[in-house]
Amino acid sequence: AQTVTQSQPEMSVQEAETVTLSCTYDTSESNYYLFWYKQPPSRQMILVIRQEAYKQQNATENRFSVNFQKAAKSFSLKISDSQLGDTAMYFCAREDGSSNTGKLIFGQGTTLQVKP
Amino acid sequence: SQTIHQWPATLVQPVGSPLSLECTVEGTSNPNLYWYRQAAGRGLQLLFYSVGIGQISSEVPQNLSASRPQDRQFILSSKKLLLSDSGFYLCASGTGGGNTIYFGEGSWLTVV
């Protein structure tokens, strides 16, 4: 089965510091899309950042950036200058391109606590 | 961007009772639609997806069913709920090709 693995169930960081969340995945496709979603206590799923595997350059969205290592099938999320509002569960996901349905395969999530 | 309306937000149902969760989408046409379940605050499991009206694919064997009677309407149903059906259900919409998948606000189902 093609899977997405997040090996850190819980993490914490001090406000204003930097934290990195890990994600590895399995795929046999040459081009695919990777995502990080955030789920705050409200439970609303919010897209944080996306990366196309074809592109070598790591995606960046303000304080959020990724370290995409295609050969290693690794897709980590770095949050800089952490804020209290970043407290949430973070999910790594890969789009299943084999079926052309756009469905996402999710990891088990990492709960991030930002401490004041 | 798309807006996903999902209801009811919270539901407490006895074992053996029927279920209907509804989801409608605004801001797009002919989307791919998905039902995910999130148990115990962990990862999301895909239950059903649909690429068009009347087209439903099931990802896991279960007590639930889905229907898509209109282009932007997606319904999750059960004839007889089990305790194991409890969880947080999310409806989602997307167009594939790496584009953003948008999620509804979710429905909490507790089977008692």
Beta bridge partners of A96: none
Token pair 């290592």 in the structure block, residue: A69
Task: Please say if the pLDDT value at position B42 is more than 80.
Answer: no
Q: What is the pLDDT of residues A76-113, one digit of tens each?
A: 999 999 999 999 999 999 998 777 788 899 999 999 99
Of A2 and A13, the one with more pLDDT = A13
For B100, nearest residue in chain A (alpha carbons): A47
Shortest distance between the Cα of B95 and any Cα of chain A, in A, equals 7
Average pLDDT over residues B39-50: 86
More confident residue, B42 or B78: B78
The answer to whether the Cβ–Cβ distance between B96 and A109 falls below 8 Å is no
- CB contact (8 A) between residue B43 and residue A43: no
DSSP letter string, B52-89: ETTEEEESS--S-EEEEEETTEEEEEESS--GGG-EEE
Q: What is the pLDDT of residue B41?
A: 62
**B90 and A108: CB-CB below 8 Å?**
no
Confirm if A93 and A105 have CB atoms less than 8 A apart: yes
Q: How many CB atoms lie within 10 A of CB A9?
A: 11
CB contact under 8 A, B96 and A102: yes
What's the confidence (pLDDT) of residue B43? 86
Query: Are B66 and B74 a contacting pair, CB within 8 Å?
Result: yes
Question: CA A36, CA A92: separation in Å to the nearest integer?
Answer: 5
- Report the residue of A5, A23, A43, A89 to disrupt the B interface, i.e. the one with the largest count of B CBs within 10 Å: A43
